[in-house]
Structure 1
Amino acid sequence: MSTQQQIVGADILLEFLEVAFHNILYVRNLYPKEIFVRKQIYGIATQVSEHPELNTYLKEVLNSIRELIRHDENSVRKINLCFYNQDKTPVEQFVFDLGKLKADLAVQDPFFLKTEEALRTFCLKLSTSGSYLKRLPENATFSIQIHTHEAAHAALNENPRCENFPWIEAEEDMTEIKEQTLLPLKSINTEYLNLQMYALEKKNKNEEKQ
């Protein structure tokens, strides 16, 4: 892939992830509805946070993903938006399983129409996902995890563009949901983007520890 094609694929992915992160947090009621505003993206109404600290965290995550892709376009394998209960046990994940970033700038979808339609359909699907999932536990928290390889992680931590937002390797018990159920959400396969998205949910996730 040329540098120009890589930039196009990365920009589309990052814009989509930003929209998805905001909408997932809205749908899952982790924050008060009052911190979100409606905006038109992909030709539909979506929810966008106006909370400064939350938005800073999301922007730093997206910047890190951009730098990983800049270093190696195939270095990002999966991205998880993971919710935890008050014991820091993962109880729910929205998983973005990435295929290879790709772009053909000359043919088939030069104006991004197919890609935008796929992303629009996905956002509409995402807006209904809350009706298929149990509510989150009280005092739930979240983090975003990036699945990459060791060399890319080392390069990211040495990157001056990311020096104020260090990443650490997550422990297995912070990434794996035991006794899980799977909710398929959407697959996107266009000239510019290739990914699958699904949600994982811990069975009986609202039960208290005995």
Structure 2
Amino acid sequence: MKELDYSISSSLISELLEVIVHQILYTRELYPRNAFQQKRKYNIPVQMCLHPGVCAYIHDIVEGAKPLLQTGSLKALQLVVTAPDNGRALEKFVFRLSQNSIIPADLRKVELSQLEESFRALCLKLSVSDNLLKPLPPRCSYKILLQLPMESLGSLHSKQVSDGAERAWIAAEPTDDMINVPKVVPLKDLSCELCSLQLYVEQTTDDYGHVAIAGPS
């Protein structure tokens, strides 16, 4: 049986994931707006964080996900925004994907301009998602989770990362991304020759007014 080849889609999707995470952090103001710089990607302006530690963290997450992308095993990436007082999940951006195998010889069949157009549409929708969501309380944190089949856990290994430390992937607790009675806000669905992508947000229906906000330290 011929081995499926996800090398093309894994490279393009990993690049897209990195851009998406930066955009979410900017749009939801998880870092100050002046910590970002406007750059161009997919022929549109996107916001990228300038802080070296943040950039390294996001890059390491995406690099760590590459073995899963290369085997078509990554089912979803989730960015979970948590409350400042108790760490409960307030909202969850879910990037769900299904990759199509394609061998390098078939690359000529893939219209890269159409791919860029699809990725551009997704980024543009994400940039205005703030208008569809209620404001977050100050000082929220976030965490990034990967969803994968149990049999793919062996693809994730401890590795030397950008800051020289060795980080190991750990299994998330079932409550890490749990939002009770969430409101689902669909952002974008798209399908192309390489993959099918779905981006949506689950947001708590609880009143943020009951969230305790920590004062300046």
**TM-score with structure 1 length normalisation?**
0.89
In the other structure, the counterpart of 2:202 is 200
| Distance in structure 2 (CA, Å) of the matches to 1:181 and 1:122 | 20
> Aligned to 1:169, which of 171, 174, 192?
171
Q: Counterpart amino acid of 2:90?
A: V
Indicate if the aligned counterparts of 2:99 and 2:194 stay in contact, CA closer than 8 A.
no
SS state at 2:126 partner:
helix
Deviation at residue 195 of structure 1 after TM alignment: 1.2
In the other structure, the counterpart of 2:89 is 90
In the other structure, the counterpart of 1:129 is 129
Indicate if the aligned counterparts of 1:91 and 1:205 stay in contact, CA closer than 8 A.
no
Deviation at residue 173 of structure 1 after TM alignment: 1.4
With over 3 angstroms needed to count, the CA separation of the structure-2 counterparts of 1:52 and 1:138, relative to structure 1, is same
Q: Counterpart amino acid of 2:91?
A: E
> Which 4+ residue blocks in structure 1 deviate beyond 3 angstroms?
101-104, 159-163
SS state at 1:38 partner:
strand
The reply on whether 1:140 has 2:148 as its aligned counterpart is: no
SS state at 1:15 partner:
helix
In the other structure, the counterpart of 1:69 is 69
| Distance in structure 2 (CA, Å) of the matches to 1:41 and 1:63 | 19
| Distance in structure 1 (CA, Å) of the matches to 2:159 and 2:143 | 23
Listed one character per residue, the Cα deviations across residues 93-137 of structure 1 (whole Å, up to 9, x for unaligned) are 11011112433413251xx01110011111111111001101112
Listed one character per residue, the Cα deviations across residues 17-48 of structure 1 (whole Å, up to 9, x for unaligned) are 11111011000011011110010110011101
The reply on whether 1:182 has 2:210 as its aligned counterpart is: no
| Distance in structure 2 (CA, Å) of the matches to 1:57 and 1:41 | 20
| Distance in structure 2 (CA, Å) of the matches to 1:23 and 1:161 | 26
With over 3 angstroms needed to count, the CA separation of the structure-2 counterparts of 1:160 and 1:23, relative to structure 1, is closer
| Distance in structure 2 (CA, Å) of the matches to 1:53 and 1:24 | 17
Indicate if the aligned counterparts of 1:78 and 1:97 stay in contact, CA closer than 8 A.
yes
| Distance in structure 2 (CA, Å) of the matches to 1:200 and 1:91 | 8
SS state at 2:178 partner:
coil
Q: Could you tell me the percent identity over the aligned residues? A: 28
Indicate if the aligned counterparts of 1:80 and 1:96 stay in contact, CA closer than 8 A.
yes
Unaligned runs of 5+ in 2: 213-217
Q: Counterpart amino acid of 1:137?
A: P
Deviation at residue 65 of structure 1 after TM alignment: 0.6
In the other structure, the counterpart of 1:46 is 46
Deviation at residue 155 of structure 1 after TM alignment: 3.4
Deviation at residue 207 of structure 1 after TM alignment: 3.5
SS state at 1:195 partner:
strand
Instruction: Count residues with an aligned counterpart.
Output: 204
| Distance in structure 2 (CA, Å) of the matches to 1:38 and 1:155 | 34
Deviation at residue 205 of structure 1 after TM alignment: 4.8
Indicate if the aligned counterparts of 2:83 and 2:211 stay in contact, CA closer than 8 A.
no
| Distance in structure 1 (CA, Å) of the matches to 2:180 and 2:83 | 13
SS state at 1:207 partner:
helix
| Distance in structure 2 (CA, Å) of the matches to 1:65 and 1:58 | 11
| Distance in structure 2 (CA, Å) of the matches to 1:94 and 1:121 | 17
> Aligned to 1:80, which of 39, 55, 78?
78
RMSD over aligned Cα atoms: 2.0
